[in-house]
Amino acid sequence: MDALAPLVRAGKVRVLETSRGVTIEIADSALFAVGQAILNTESSRALAAVAEVIATSDFPVTIEGHTDHVPIKTLQFPSNWELSAVRATTVLRIFADSGVPADRLTAIGYGETRPVEPNDSIEGRARNRRVSIQIDSALPEKPTEVPVEVSPAALSRP
């Protein structure tokens, strides 16, 4: 995680411990140009270094893209949903290319639906534009099927 140290010092990255595991929260300005989903070279290298560390564990990784509430409407990104999803997927591809097995990776775009600050200030909007990398602290549970009874009448309906 030494690759993130300069970004942590600059206030662009926070590392949080939650009940789910560890979350690395990265300000979008450390990764992307405004309204874009192409990583800059420095952040690509830093993310690849993080991915190499994560690749040595067995824990699931969820990459979440978040935006502020300011609408975007371009050909590539008709809304904040698409922008956040493509940004999350862009980070996921760096992780996959750096050795994290694809079956451990999930990308989610939340758009503006999960702000961490009110969107009524420049600072709040900046905090809401982020990518979060959630490293789960436990392996997924093996599901147990719940028996559901189906009445014969339900089976005969068209």
Q: Containing H/E element for 8? A: helix 5-9
Q: Are 134 and 88 in contact (CB under 8 A)?
A: no
How confident is the model over 46-74, as a mean pLDDT? 95
For residues 104 and 65, what is the distance between their CA atoms, to the nearest angstrom? 17
The per-residue pLDDT for range 74-90, each reduced to its tens digit, is: 999 999 999 999 999 99
In the chain, what is the straight-line distance between the N-terminal and C-terminal CA atoms, in Å? 57
pLDDT of amino acid 137: 87
pLDDT at 7 over 80: no
Tens of pLDDT, residue by residue over 25-56, are 999 999 998 899 999 888 899 899 999 999 99
Over pLDDT 90: what percentage of the chain? 70
Under the banding of pLDDT at 50, 70 and 90, the label for residue 127 is: very high
User: What is the CATH code for 2-155?
Assistant: 3.30.1330.60
Domain residue spans in the chain?
2-155
Mean pLDDT of the 120-142 span: 90
Q: What is the DSSP string of 134-148?
A: EEESSPPPPP-PPP-
Tokens 């560890």 belong to residue: 22
